[in-house]
Amino acid sequence: MAIAGIILVSKWLAKIKERSDVSCRLCQRAREQRGASTENLLEETYGHINSAFCDGMATTVTAAHHIIWRHLYASMQAAQSPANKLRFVTPDKESSMSTLWLQEEFEQICSRNSLMEKAADIEKTISVKEHERERYDFDPTMFYENCFWIEGQMA
């Protein structure tokens, strides 16, 4: 079956009338084991069981993601020439811009305010749609800050 590109998931089995319920069996089993409700289960599709959204596969999928990332990181580091001064800043974990700016070295490279000012300069060259003007009562400072920082995430 795998050679034909067909994986025996509930969604496909329901399509060929071999199963009536398309709910994810892995999510159901994981929820039952921890005593959680098995209502509102997502459909069991190939994409679902290979994502971190599947309760039954989340730990495995996340671990695979981290193993692959570490391998890619190590391969890219090994391929760099000694003269190359570029380096990864978060090889062991994922970070947002908010958490990166908590590190002093990032503030020295480019302050948050400098980046925001440059981004605002660029944003100001983009025309603003009428519904966007109304949303911010067209306070240009607030409008451009919110556009760049996605409303409050960086505050």
As a whole number, mean pLDDT of residues 114-134 equals: 75
Is the confidence at residue 147, as pLDDT, over 60? no
DSSP state of 7: -
Comparing 148 with 45, which gets the higher pLDDT?
A: 45
Nearest to 27 by CA among 16, 14, 40: 40
**Collapsing DSSP states into helix, strand and coil, what is residue 23?**
strand
| Cα–Cα distance, 27 to 43 (Å, whole number) | 10
| Cα–Cα distance, 28 to 23 (Å, whole number) | 8
Comparing 15 with 100, which gets the higher pLDDT?
A: 15
Confidence band, pLDDT 50/70/90 cuts, at residue 37 = very high
pLDDT of residue 150: 43
Q: Taking every pair of C-alpha atoms in the chain, what is the biggest distance, in angstroms?
A: 62
Indicate the helix (H) or strand (E) that contains 41.
Answer: none
Mark out the alpha helices in 40-87 (DSSP H runs): 46-49, 58-79
High-pLDDT (> 70) share of the chain, %: 73
Radius of gyration over every alpha carbon of the chain, rounded to an integer in angstroms:
24
| Other beta carbons less than 10 A from residue 52's beta carbon | 13
Tokens read off for 48: 């679902």
Mark out the alpha helices in the chain (DSSP H runs): 10-15, 25-33, 46-49, 58-79, 97-100, 104-109, 112-123, 130-135, 140-149
Q: Judging by beta carbons within 10 Å of its beta carbon (0-12, 13-18, 19+), is residue 144 exposed, middle or buried?
A: buried
| Residue-wise pLDDT tens digits, 136-145 | 555 555 555 5
| Confidence (pTM) | 0.52
